[in-house]
Amino acid sequence: MKKPPRIGDLIEIPTANGLAYAQYTHQHAQFGALIRVFDNLCATKPENLESIVEGSVRFSTFFPLKAAIHQDIFKIVAHCDVAKSNRSFPIFRAGIIDPKTKKVSVWWLWDGEKEWQIGDLTPEQRKLPIRGIWNDKMLVQRIEEGWRPEKDNL
């Protein structure tokens, strides 16, 4: 029987562009496992996996990690301390898409406990992760596309 994931676990994500890595950094009561997907893709598994967690984060998202590990969709390849820069819970942005415009006209920020309305996003706020739970297919697709929150067209 597989051990359940724990905070600090490093997950290997095979993609068409190479191996991506994400770290499980937080558990939220409603949204589940928060993972931070790192920027660099690797052709082969790096010898020093611990160095990955010091790299820059491409995006953060909630992901059903326990199920993905249990079903062998992804695997845990290391357990590392969470980098200081990733220890605090990130602020997310969220909004409702207007069916007519296919855009979000009023944005909200959320810190894991409370949320507040802000209206339009500043360029810095566009870089904030978008609150949601992704499945494995969406996660891999976003990695392969080089997606970042600030590139999202909502």
Domain presence at residue 100: no
Domain presence at residue 114: no
**Cα Rg of the chain, angstroms:** 16
Domain presence at residue 57: yes
Q: Distance between terminal CA atoms of the chain?
A: 41
Domain presence at residue 122: no
Give the Cα separation of 37 and 57 in Å (integer): 6
Residue type, 151: K
- Concatenating the DSSP letter of every residue in 27-73 gives EETTTEEEEEEES--BSS--S-GGGGGGS-EEEEEEE-HHHHHHTTS
pTM: 0.94
Whole-number pLDDT of residue 54: 93
Is 90 exceeded by the pLDDT of residue 2?
no
Structural domain span for residue 137: 9-89+133-151
Residue type, 58: R
The tens digit of pLDDT for each residue in 35-61 reads: 999 999 999 999 999 999 999 999 999
Is 70 exceeded by the pLDDT of residue 1?
no
Is 80 exceeded by the pLDDT of residue 123?
yes
Strands 18-28, 9-15: pairing is antiparallel
Domain presence at residue 66: yes
**Best CA proximity match to 62, nearest among 26, 94, 93:** 26
The tens digit of pLDDT for each residue in 6-41 reads: 999 999 999 999 999 999 999 999 999 999 999 999
The tens digit of pLDDT for each residue in 61-118 reads: 999 999 999 999 999 999 999 999 999 999 999 999 989 988 898 999 999 999 999 9
Domain count, the chain: 1
